[in-house]
Amino acid sequence: MTLELGVLVSGSGSNLEAILTAISSGRLDARCRLVLSNRPSVLALERARSAGVPSVVVDHKEYASREEFERAMLAKLQESGVEWLALAGFMRVLSPTFLAAFPGRVVNVHPSLLPAFPGTSAQTQAFDYGVKVAGCTVHFVDAGVDSGPIIAQAAVPVLDTDSAEDLRRRILEQEHALFPQALQWIAEGRVRMVPRAGARSVVTLASEDAER
């Protein structure tokens, strides 16, 4: 299936670019219907423009409440025909009401090996903690912060000579490979999020489905 993708961004957009490159090179079966930024004048918007992909700013500061902000985002995404959402450095937490519009169809990349170091500045948190292995996680999004079911992870070593910036860069390189790959698994129907009443949702592999 071709993913009709919306990509939510807040900053530099290097993960957006990795997704767009994967699409144009045929490694990811998706169409980027819309890039939506909650911040004006970010590099991600320029990257979208140079790739010829539609983009829009919905600035959270212009709305009185999260509900209104999310309603405005939802209107833009729905009128663009977006069915799946990739959060690529999007720095706002999404409410259950918003997520319900894309059930099991919102995917995030986070720069740590979750469940370690959720939240902002995860790479610095890991570096300051003194971990010897760091990495990134692609996961389905639920109502918590970086808490949804994990699809894939990539680990990187922390070298004695690393600065926090070195580590951030090494993790980011892995994000650029892992995020498009995980989205492609979804496009191929190989993984999906399965909600479980009263329990944590899980990621199911297609092959496991076939065995049931």
Catalog residues that contact ligand GRF under the rule CB under 6 A: 11-15, 44, 88-89, 109-111, 172, 175
Nearer to ligand GRF, 78 or 124 (CB): 124
Nearer to ligand GRF, 110 or 139 (CB): 110
Q: Are 192 and 104 in contact (CB under 8 A)?
A: yes
Minimum distance from residue 44 beta carbon to ligand GRF (Å): 6
Minimum distance from residue 53 beta carbon to ligand GRF (Å): 15
- Catalytic residue check, 139: no
Minimum distance from residue 62 beta carbon to ligand GRF (Å): 21
Nearer to ligand GRF, 90 or 98 (CB): 90
- Report how far apart the first and last C-alpha atoms of the chain are (Å, whole number): 23
- CA distances to 55, 142, 145, 183 from 22, rounded to whole Å, are 18, 25, 27, 10
CA distance 67 to 173: 34
Helix axes 122-129, 164-187, angle to 10 degrees: 130
Q: Are 152 and 174 in contact (CB under 8 A)?
A: no
Q: Which amino acid is at 210?
A: A
Which residue is nearest to ligand GRF, using beta carbons?
89
Give me the catalytic one of 60, 110, 139, 176. Answer: 110
Active site positions, annotated: 110
